[in-house]
Amino acid sequence: MKAKRSNPTMKDVAREAGVALGTVSKVMNNIPVGAEYRVRVEEAAKKLGYQVNSYAKGLKTNHTGIVALIIPSVRHPFFGLLTDYICQVLMTRGMRTLLATTESDMEMENKCIRLAQQHKVEGIIALTYNPNIEMDEDVPFVSIDRFYTNRVPCVAADNYGGGQLAAEKLVELGARKLLFLRIGSSVIGEPDKREAGFESWCQLNKVPCHVIHLNDEDGFNPFYDFLRDHVRDGRPEYTGIFCSTDQLAVIIVKKLKEMGLSVPEDVQVIGFDGLMNFDETPYCSSIVQPVEKMAETAVDILLSEDRSKLPALTCLPVTYRPGGTTRDNEA
């Protein structure tokens, strides 16, 4: 471990380099000075361990170099992955990430936005649930997965197309009747389009399709009841299940096995997100969100110079990836 004394000032650097204070300031702010002066200042700064005080700089130029990321948590693998990419992309653009986790609490979301603004962040990227977000129009704001108004750019995966793709795949892989399952949050957001896309594809292609919204009160009973009520020759009739997330798909696969059904032999399951377990294998067959691309796009929009014509909603293409819960090899 090397230790350094507390930060010297620009004056100290000027004295060490034997140049005027203004020269040091120019070098620090990348304003052209003679090469010889630049070298002397840089060497003096290095010798003294001089560091730019971003706080003081931020106050003067209004560029703090900090972007706030407001997200429910990072322990969920989708949020973790998204946070990693956003943090990396911001770093390559010379920006730092101020992280605020909200646990999806709507009050906390507004609190975090207020705090971020107090810290003079240059922008906010947020994945929020509160429909009444209190944002400052002067602070660039990009929303992920939640559309507010045309004035707030939103970045999401193509959830609608993903729902269509899931239905198409299940039918292609042999399922004749399809089930859609979702759980939790009744907040209206982009991910709701997974269901809409799935249903519309089934309608268009005249494939029987049933939708179940699971809730905490009834647990998985509506799902069990439906499967048991729709049996032909001792086999389930609905053999293709699309779950709104990988997390739900993992749970449903477990429940099916507990019911004595084989996955993917008896019933095929597709999730949404495309997450990888930490042994680098997919959790399940899934519609993969382009997480890295979503992070890049959110940062690009947030930092774009011309804010007069930002896209209101950017939906990025998804893909299908087999992951052991569908009969892909037989198709």
The amino acid at 47: K
Residue 76 lies near its own copies (rule: CB under 8 A): yes
- 55: Cβ–Cβ under 8 A, 6 or more apart, which residues? 64
**Do 178 and 242 contact (CB within 8 A), yes or no?**
yes
Nearest distance in Å: CB 164, its own copies: 26
Choose which of 10, 250, 287, 315 interacts with its own copies (CB under 8 A).
250
- 236: Cβ–Cβ under 8 A, 6 or more apart, which residues? 227, 230, 261, 266, 267
Residue 154 lies near its own copies (rule: CB under 8 A): no
Choose which of 15, 25, 42, 101 interacts with its own copies (CB under 8 A).
101
Choose which of 10, 13, 41, 66 interacts with its own copies (CB under 8 A).
66
Residue 297 lies near its own copies (rule: CB under 8 A): no
**Do 106 and 127 contact (CB within 8 A), yes or no?**
no
**Do 8 and 49 contact (CB within 8 A), yes or no?**
yes
Phi–psi pair at 243, nearest 5 degrees = -100, 145
Half-sphere exposure of 223 (CA within 13 A, CB side): 26
* 3-state secondary structure string across 154-176: EEEECHHHHHHHHHHHHHHCCCC
Residue 258 lies near its own copies (rule: CB under 8 A): no
Choose which of 228, 277, 307, 317 interacts with its own copies (CB under 8 A).
277
Judged by CB, which is closer to its own copies: 72, or 264?
A: 72
Choose which of 19, 23, 24, 97 interacts with its own copies (CB under 8 A).
97
Applying CB under 8 A, the span of 30-38, 212-220, 247-255, 301-309 interacting with its own copies comes to 247-255
- Evaluate the CA torsion angle 66, 70, 73, 77 in order and state its sign: negative
Residue 293 lies near its own copies (rule: CB under 8 A): no
- Cα 227 to Cα 186: distance, rounded to the nearest angstrom: 24
**Do 95 and 52 contact (CB within 8 A), yes or no?**
no
Nearest distance in Å: CB 208, its own copies: 29
The amino acid at 75: R
Choose which of 216, 279, 305, 330 interacts with its own copies (CB under 8 A).
279
Residue 186 lies near its own copies (rule: CB under 8 A): no
Residue 3 lies near its own copies (rule: CB under 8 A): yes
- Cα 272 to Cα 191: distance, rounded to the nearest angstrom: 10
Residue 92 lies near its own copies (rule: CB under 8 A): no
Applying CB under 8 A, the span of 17-25, 91-99, 159-167, 195-203 interacting with its own copies comes to 91-99
**Coil/strand/helix, residue 151:** coil
Choose which of 36, 107, 138, 330 interacts with its own copies (CB under 8 A).
138
Binding positions for its own copies, rule: CB under 8 A:
1-7, 51-56, 58-59, 64-66, 69, 73-77, 80-81, 83-84, 87-88, 91, 96-101, 103, 114-115, 117-120, 132-138, 148-149, 151-152, 246-247, 250-251, 254, 275, 277-279, 283
